[in-house]
């Protein structure tokens, strides 16, 4: 279970980096088409974050915070950046 936790944590990290790069490219080139693209990208990543919340809750209840720090912190960062980019895309449409 620890290997799966690390794998999902790495996946969350990769998704967070992709989302942050999409947000930075949107901010550097803000027009209506890039706002729409960021909106759909953010919405897709919110759905992925919701799906990845299920193992997040299971790991948190079974193993606690101390054994899954990496996965918990990466999931919280991924969920937060997904919501942040979604709000930014809504503000600039």
- pLDDT tens, position by position, for the chain (93 residues)? 678 778 888 888 898 898 888 888 888 876 777 778 888 888 998 998 888 888 888 877 887 777 778 888 888 898 998 998 889 888 877
The rounded distance, in Å, linking the Cα atoms of 41 and 48 is: 11
Q: Is-contact 93 27, C-beta < 8 A? A: no
Domain around 25: 2-91
pLDDT for the residue 1? 65
Q: Report pLDDT for 53.
A: 85
Domain count, the chain: 1
CA distance 34 to 38: 6
Q: Tell me what pLDDT residue 6 has.
A: 83
Contacts (Cβ under 8 Å, ≥6 apart) of 74: 9, 10, 12, 13, 16
pTM for the model: 0.80
CA atoms of 22 and 28, how far apart (whole Å):
10
């Amino acid at each position: 279970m620890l290997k799966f936790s690390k794998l999902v944590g790495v996946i969350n990290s990769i998704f967070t980096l992709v989302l942050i790069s999409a947000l930075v490219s949107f901010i550097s080139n803000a027009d209506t088409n890039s706002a729409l693209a960021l909106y759909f990208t953010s919405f897709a990543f919110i759905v992925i974050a919701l799906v990845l919340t299920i193992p997040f809750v299971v790991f948190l209840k079974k193993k606690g915070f101390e054994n899954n720090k990496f996965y918990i912190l990466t999931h919280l960062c991924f969920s937060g950046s997904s919501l942040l980019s979604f709000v930014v895309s809504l503000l600039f449409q």
